[in-house]
Structure 1
Amino acid sequence: MALLAHQLRTPLSTINALAQGLIRRADRLSTLDIQVKAEKIWRASLRLDELIETILSYTRASAGGIMLNPSEFHPSELIKRVCREQGGQEPDRPFHLDIKDMPETIIGDPVLLEQALVIVVSNAMKYSRPDQPIDVTARGEDGMIRITVKDRGIGIPERDLPFVLQPFFRGRNAKKLPGTGLGLSLAWYILKLHGGNLELESRARRGTKVSLIVPETNTTGLSYSI
């Protein structure tokens, strides 16, 4: 709880300080100054929203309260949308998207799968410099789809790798960066509900590769607990 409170307080403090600055100095700020501060407030609010959504989803998952709402959807469009929206938060970051041999439609819960992909893509951005590219590839293979997100960031130390899917665990080289340690465990849970899996490869200072594996058809869901 102390970790979660600290993570929530950071973007709140940013929003509070910037908003007070705008109120006190509104008559002396240029249009550009206001735009810069407004963008910082927007980014802090996005971070706060992400944290709250992750905490609420984890709470539902740990209580067995997440159920699949399966429907037919276009996986390629979902992947493109996530990359476009996440990339829009850092317009100068290169995004390399490569989609091949994907089924036109699959059956699953598009809302939950989008949440899992957003977690993985935002992690890749968070733990790598803004000038480092993110590679996203998607392939259909033997009734499954595999979405792989690769970054060139700080990576995960070898001795931490076996524990990163555990709730609240954070690698020793990531403790000073924003995060709750819930994201990957929640993404793994969502994929397991679909009968899929999450695979992770990483080396310290060499980046991380995360693969989300989902069957083309899942209408019932499986029972898993975080």
Structure 2
Amino acid sequence: MGGKAKPVSSSRQIHYSKRISLLFSAIFILLVFGYAGVVLFLQGDHPALPELTALFVSLMLVMGAAWNWSLRRQVTSFVDTLDEMVDRAIYGREKMTDFEETLLSSMEHKLLRYIEISKANEQNLETEKNRIKELISDISHQTKTPLSNIMIYSQLLAEVPELDGESRQLVSHIQSQSEKLEWLITSLVKMSRLETGMITLHSTVNPVIQTITRAVSHIYTRAESKQIDIHIECNHLTKARHDPQWTSEALFNLLENSVKYTEAGGKISIVTESNEMFTRVDVSDTGMGIPQDELKHIFKRFYRGHSAREYEGIGIGLYLTRKIISMQGGFITAVSEPGRGTKISMFLPQI
């Protein structure tokens, strides 16, 4: 270690500390018993007794100061040795001690054992992570191909002019359920990739309005079909450190919920505000709202409130949103009141 004197070996340090302790103990015992013997010999009325007492007190004070200095040196030396030992263990350098029956030697071997176990666990985790990556990729590939075929065949079947009304209705159900299954598989794959670290978010300082516009463009058609007005209030100069693609995905999940749970003719507002640390993006709607006892659970994986179960969904949209925002150093909050709508706020870091 640069600029630091190399500490003595652990065995020499232990022997040195024991000798110092024995020396101070012997001197202390001699002083106490010597003074007691002199007092008994002089019978307490000798004129030299005050001077002897003062001398004894002075010697005890000197002994205490010397003992304190010695202990501080021992502690400093022990800490320096321990620091050097930790550095050697971390960087795989040669051990400081052999198999000695000392405290430092025991600590060093336990530390080395702990580091070996940690490295082995880290390697196992990395291996398991790679296996999960391969499994997710296989699942994604193996399910997308047959599902795409089902959707294509159902579309071709719907174009057959000889189908009667009941058959066309059944084909329509197949198409609808296939689309839901495709969305479900895509969402589960995204969630798995985020949780296993397969996806890396690249956060840079970007204008927030572009991210908001991208998210709104994907939900606008659905909102228009329900005659839901989307109002955006965002300064074009407002910026935040975020990944535009994934943050847009998170914002889309919020907007999708707002459109789903807001009655026709309702309103959705997107308002931004910046301070020194965060840029806040509020998504407010005039929807059905969320009861207070359910509000703390809405960001959990697969959670769906009692009043939301009549609507389609599996409860991973808000979970994915919180995961995406937290991975960028931000956080998310929600306030709501049944019958009066919901406001969910995303806080994106400035630095």
Calculate the TM-score normalised by the size of structure 1. 0.73
1:66 aligns with 199
Q: Which amino acid aligns with 2:274?
A: G
**Does the residue aligned with 1:89 lie in a helix, a strand or coil?**
helix
1:188 aligns with 322
- Bigger fraction of residues in strand: 1
Root mean square deviation, CA, Å: 3.3
Q: Which amino acid aligns with 2:216?
A: C
Residue 161 of structure 2 corresponds to residue 25 of structure 1: yes
Residue 258 of structure 2 corresponds to residue 112 of structure 1: no
2:220 aligns with 87
**Does the residue aligned with 1:54 lie in a helix, a strand or coil?**
helix
Unaligned runs of 5+ in 2: 1-147, 165-171
- Bigger fraction of residues in helix: 2
State the alpha-carbon separation in 2 of the partners of residues 109 and 195 from structure 1: 11
Deviation of 1:213 (Å): 0.6
Structure with the larger RCO, 1 or 2 (CA within 8 Å, 6+ apart)? 1
Deviations 1:102-150 (CA, angstroms, capped at 9, x unpaired): 53x4432111111110111111111112321111111212231111111
Percent identity of equivalent pairs:
24
State the alpha-carbon separation in 1 of the partners of residues 311 and 152 from structure 2: 20
CA contact (8 A) 1:100 1:140 kept: no
2:350 aligns with 216
Unaligned runs of 5+ in 1: 1-11, 29-37, 218-226
Deviations 1:158-204 (CA, angstroms, capped at 9, x unpaired): 22112111111100001121111111111111111111111101122
Residue 171 of structure 2 corresponds to residue 171 of structure 1: no
Structure 1 residues 68 and 131 mapped into 2: Cα distance closer, same or farther (>3 Å)?
A: same
Structure 1 residues 57 and 51 mapped into 2: Cα distance closer, same or farther (>3 Å)?
A: same
Q: Which amino acid aligns with 1:23?
A: E
Calculate the TM-score normalised by the size of structure 2. 0.49
**Does the residue aligned with 1:69 lie in a helix, a strand or coil?**
coil
State the alpha-carbon separation in 2 of the partners of residues 170 and 212 from structure 1: 20
**Does the residue aligned with 1:205 lie in a helix, a strand or coil?**
coil
2:285 aligns with 151
Structure with greater Cα Rg: 2
**Correspondences of 1:113-132 after superposition (within 5 Å):** 113-132=247-266
CA contact (8 A) 2:269 2:283 kept: yes
- Of the three residues 91, 94, 100, the one matched with 2:235 is 100
State the alpha-carbon separation in 1 of the partners of residues 193 and 315 from structure 2: 16
Deviation of 1:209 (Å): 0.7
State the alpha-carbon separation in 1 of the partners of residues 314 and 186 from structure 2: 12
Q: Aligned pairs, how many? A: 195
